[in-house]
Amino acid sequence: MATHHTQASEARAADSGAQASARFKDRAAAHRGDQPVDHERVNLLAGKAIKALTDIVYEDKVSYEEYNALKSWLIKVGEDGEWPLFLDVWIEHAVEDVATEHREGSKGTIEGPYYVEDSPEYEWDAKIPMREDEPGTPFRFKSKVTAVDGTPLSNAKIEMWHADEYGLYSQFAPGIPEWNLRASFLANEDGEFDIKTIRPAPYQIPTEGACGQLIEAAGWHAWRPAHIHVKVSAPGYELLTAQLYFPGDEHNDDDIASAVKPELMLDPKPSSDGEGEEVQYDFVLDPER
Ligand code: MBD
Ligand code: FE
């Protein structure tokens, strides 16, 4: 049984990277305005990116074999639909650091490839949608959202999404109900939340595609520590995108996506209602500039 499940999970995980490409294309198309191309900026950034690569060629004397291996691999990343996965795992953490360096409120981290907009809305004290027999440790997540000046934000929203007990995300791995372990919660008048979910499992990025091939060839590992994704928002405040982690996870110190920060560590306790665990983790939002 256990073996059967592992094989099924692996087969499904292969679809996840590719699924992320299709979704990103839709989202990017929906959000793209008629923004003019900033030729100076493209000249600067594309120029620097190309120079960074040619510098490596000279410094490390890259051979034609290696150059052709790179070409094959880049083609495969596209064929496997793994550009979102590749970029979010190895590049997004730097973009997120730069985008949020002015903030005084809560630390955030990367969004990753598996966010879906417009998840169903629930009250402040609800259970996230899950299957009747959803495996996993019950996990109660309490939170209060305030502004940097301490004002409780009664119109705050927490969007939450995370993997199941097997490390699989709904809408990216087949056979899982559409909004499983995904929801938007609306704060009470004091900016508080009391969300019931389950603890997600550590997550291994798909190993069958181009990203997995790179990891294998480089002798790296494919693991991310268990994490809960959130987007915390309120009108007039900057959107906070974060992930929350569990102490003791063996991959907290070597996350392949470099997305763990000490401020994002949860402190779960045995639940006061006797079942599973609970945690209090508060968010502080920066006003829009
Ligand atoms: C994930 O679940 C994730 O959060 C990231 C950043 C990359 C791959 C899978
Ligand atoms: Fe994730």
Task: Spell out the SS3 assignment of 129-148.
Answer: CCCCCCCCCEEEEEEEEEEC
In ligand 1, which atom is closest to the CA atom of 112? 6
pLDDT interval class at 282 (50, 70, 90): very high
pLDDT interval class at 288 (50, 70, 90): very high
Q: Which stretch, 27-31, 273-277, 281-285, has highest mean pLDDT?
A: 281-285
Closest residue to atom 5 of ligand 1, CA basis: 112
Strand order in the sheet with 227-233: 121-122, 182-186, 157-162, 227-233, 240-245
CA dist., res. 203 & res. 180, Å (int): 17
Backbone angles phi, psi at 228, to 5 degrees: -115, 125
Any atom of ligand 1 within 6 Å of the Cβ of 228: no
- Has residue 192 got a pLDDT over 90? yes
Residues whose CB falls within 8 Å of the CB of residue 125, separated by 6 or more in sequence, listed in order: 188, 193, 194, 195
Average pLDDT over residues 228-251: 98
Question: Distance from the CA of 110 to the center of ligand 1, in angstroms?
Answer: 9
Contact (Cβ atoms closer than 8 angstroms) between residue 244 and residue 261: no
CA dist., res. 245 & res. 247, Å (int): 7
Cβ neighbours, 10 Å, residue 64? 7
Strand partners, 173: 170
Q: 12-34: per-residue pLDDT in tens?
A: 445 787 888 988 888 887 776 67
Residues whose CB falls within 8 Å of the CB of residue 267, separated by 6 or more in sequence, listed in order: 247, 279, 281
Closest residue to atom 4 of ligand 1, CA basis: 112
Closest CA to 241 of 100, 146, 142: 100
Q: 101-120: per-residue pLDDT in tens?
A: 999 999 999 999 999 999 99
Mean pLDDT of the chain: 93
Question: Distance from the CA of 245 to the center of ligand 1, in angstroms?
Answer: 13
pLDDT at 271: 92
pLDDT interval class at 6 (50, 70, 90): very low
Closest residue to atom 9 of ligand 1, CA basis: 205
Any atom of ligand 1 within 6 Å of the Cβ of 224: yes
Q: What percent of the chain has pLDDT over 90?
A: 85
Which of 224, 227, 243, 244 maximizes ligand 1 atoms within 8 Å of its Cβ, making it the mutation to test the pocket? Answer: 224
Any atom of ligand 1 within 6 Å of the Cβ of 200: no
- Has residue 4 got a pLDDT over 80? no
Residues whose CB falls within 8 Å of the CB of residue 269, separated by 6 or more in sequence, listed in order: 277, 278, 279
pLDDT at 1: 30
Q: Is the pTM of this model over 0.85?
A: yes
Contact (Cβ atoms closer than 8 angstroms) between residue 117 and residue 171: no
Average pLDDT over residues 155-170: 97
Between 6 and 115, the higher pLDDT residue: 115
Any atom of ligand 1 within 6 Å of the Cβ of 88: yes
pLDDT at 17: 79
pLDDT at 113: 96
Strand 203-204, strand 223-224: pairing: antiparallel
Q: What is the residue-wise DSSP string for 236-280?
A: TB--EEEEEE-TT-TTSSS-TT----GGGB---EE-TTSSSEEEE
Q: 43-59: per-residue pLDDT in tens?
A: 999 999 999 999 999 99
Ligand with smallest separation from the Cα of 16? 1
Angle, helices 83-90 vs 210-218, to 10°: value is 40
Average pLDDT over residues 213-219: 97
pLDDT interval class at 249 (50, 70, 90): very high
In ligand 1, which atom is closest to the CA atom of 259? 6
Q: What is the CA 94 to chain-centroid distance, rounded?
A: 14
Question: Distance from the CA of 183 to the center of ligand 2, in angstroms?
Answer: 15
CA dist., res. 229 & res. 238, Å (int): 17
Question: Distance from the CA of 59 to the center of ligand 1, in angstroms?
Answer: 32
Any atom of ligand 1 within 6 Å of the Cβ of 183: no
Any atom of ligand 1 within 6 Å of the Cβ of 110: yes
What residue type is assigned to position 268 of the chain? Answer: P
Contact (Cβ atoms closer than 8 angstroms) between residue 174 and residue 16: no
